[in-house]
Amino acid sequence: MAKKIDINEVDYTKFLPTQDYVLAKRDEGEEKTESGVWYAKQQNKQTALVIAVGDDEVFETSRVKIGSKVYFVEKDYMPLGEFIIIKLSSIIGVFE
């Protein structure tokens, strides 16, 4: 019988993205409403801290690394608990 998983108890820090996806945590400049909609406390704050990167070869030469602060396109991400999954092509830039 298959094991039932409670997604509320999953530790997403152990999640490893595949291909050219990035696991990131939104900056605290944004908040989530009760209905699940994200809004910026400050003007258009779409930044996140990279927690893990996928296994695609493109990350060997990319400026996007674990620990990087990135700016991303708002419509191209998927929420995953308190984290988000972003496709590398949706990341506009990296803060130094």
Burial readout 5-37 (b: 16 or more C-beta within 10 A, e: otherwise) = eeeeeeeeeeeebeebbbbbebbeebeeeeeee
pLDDT (mean) for 30-49: 68
Domain boundaries, the chain: 17-95
- Return the closest-CA partner of residue 26 out of 44, 47, 11: 47
44 or 64: which carries more pLDDT confidence?
Answer: 64
Lowest mean pLDDT among 24-33, 36-45, 53-62, 86-95: 36-45
Determine the 3-state secondary structure of 21 from DSSP: strand
For 64, the token pair is 């996007």
pLDDT on residue 82: 82
- Return the closest-CA partner of residue 66 out of 49, 83, 79: 49
For 76, the token pair is 């191209």
pLDDT at 81 over 90: no
Taking the domain 17-95, which CATH number applies? Answer: 2.30.33.40
pLDDT on residue 53: 92
pLDDT (mean) for 28-41: 66
pLDDT (mean) for 75-87: 86
Residues 83 and 77: beta-carbon distance below 8 Å:
no
Strongest mean pLDDT among 36-40, 64-68, 79-83: 64-68
pLDDT (mean) for 10-34: 79
